[in-house]
Structure 1
Amino acid sequence: MQYVKPLHLFQNLLKANALQRGRLLGLDVGDKYVGLAVSDLDNKISSPLSVLIRKKSNIDLMASDFQSLISELSLVGFIVGYPFDRQRLAPNATQVKLFIDDLSKTGKLDGFKYTYWDECFTSKNVELLLKPLSLHPVLAKTIVDKFAAVQILQAYLDYMNKNESRNQLGEI
């Protein structure tokens, strides 16, 4: 896997011709689950996709699942939620990096691009929305992970599309 700066990933996506332009997959990496969200073909809207069970022992299987998703959904990059904390190293940051490193070591995603995007409060926001529904804890957790991935990807798409709009207005 190849890390690319957030802006470069989106700019390369825009430079691709319409037939080569693909979609992005948002990942919310937790200790037990990885929530997934996918962008539409225009990379404007994020939608929930699924949740993968995360274990050290199934990383090879997860890499295979990602390979399938890449071909089925025409994916061109991962937007990985990352807990940025300017004051100190966030404990969850290490687990996100380890997950990406483990995926990379499988060799199944060689050359596939990814970037990190701030996931600040995404899970907490979804938890607060779900609280009044009194869902079963396991169901609530999988929904939280899936919709946290939606928020991560949507925040990235909104920022990049807004930035692109500003660039186009500046060039006129």
Structure 2
Amino acid sequence: MPITTLEDLTLAPMQRLLGLDLGEKTIGLALSDTLLTVATPMETLKRGKFSADAAKLDAIIAAQGVGGLVIGHPLNMDGSAGASAQSARAFARNFAARSPLPIVLVDERLSTAAVTRTLLDADASRARRAAVVDKMAAAYILQGALDRLRHLKGK
């Protein structure tokens, strides 16, 4: 399925969304509930070759009843697309070419900074922050998308 927008996203009843925060070395994952109201941090995968990463995601998608992906799109502060945003778009295109799932790219500016600030406020150690920041950022991105979906359905 092609890359779509939140406005055009359609899921079967009781399907979940999987949120991805793509980093250079890791992929943070978060999972929605079946009512599409709450995003929960799930895990952090070490990045490898695309085919290996996609196979790991396929297993998670099948096991969790995922009906669509929300991928963080790290735009620059001025809205332009830098190298990270281009990498996220390439990942989305490559995954869309091999999967029937709808994929939505969501602006994730400052998501990692917001999560890091929250973890600092919670007095999390540097090691703890490093261990959870990617999956927490994925949950932050996914929760924003879920909130937007709820707003769109309310109209």
Q: TM-score range, shorter-chain basis?
A: 0.7 to 0.9
Q: Note the alpha carbon deviations across 1:85-104, whole angstroms, 9 max, x for none.
A: 44532332022123234445
- The one-letter code of the counterpart of 1:34 is I
Decide which of 70, 80, 100 is 1:88's aligned counterpart. Answer: 80
SS in 1 for 2:31: strand
SS in 2 for 1:38: strand
Return 5+ residue gaps in structure 2 as ranges.
Answer: none
Contact kept, 8 Å, 2:7 with 2:149, in 1: the verdict is yes
CA distance in 2, matches of 1:83, 1:63: 20
Decide which of 134, 143, 147 is 1:154's aligned counterpart. Answer: 143
Give the ranges of 4+ consecutive aligned residues of structure 1 lying more than 6 Å apart after TM superposition. none
Contact kept, 8 Å, 1:24 with 1:76, in 2: the verdict is yes
Give the number of equivalent residue pairs. 152
SS in 2 for 1:115: strand
TM-score by length of 1: 0.79
1:33-48 equivalences in 2 (<5 Å): 33-48=26-41
1:15-164 equivalences in 2 (<5 Å): 16=12, 18=13, 21-55=14-48, 57=49, 59-85=50-76, 86-104=78-96, 107=98, 109=99, 111-131=100-120, 132-136=123-127, 139-164=128-153
Name whichever structure is richer in helix by fraction: 1
CA distance in 2, matches of 1:74, 1:65: 14
Let me know the Cα RMSD of the aligned residues.
1.9
Contact kept, 8 Å, 1:33 with 1:142, in 2: the verdict is no
Using the aligned pairs only, state the percent identity: 28
Return 5+ residue gaps in structure 1 as ranges.
Answer: 168-172
CA distance in 2, matches of 1:125, 1:69: 26
- The one-letter code of the counterpart of 1:159 is R
CA distance in 2, matches of 1:154, 1:49: 13
The structure with the largest alpha-carbon Rg is 1
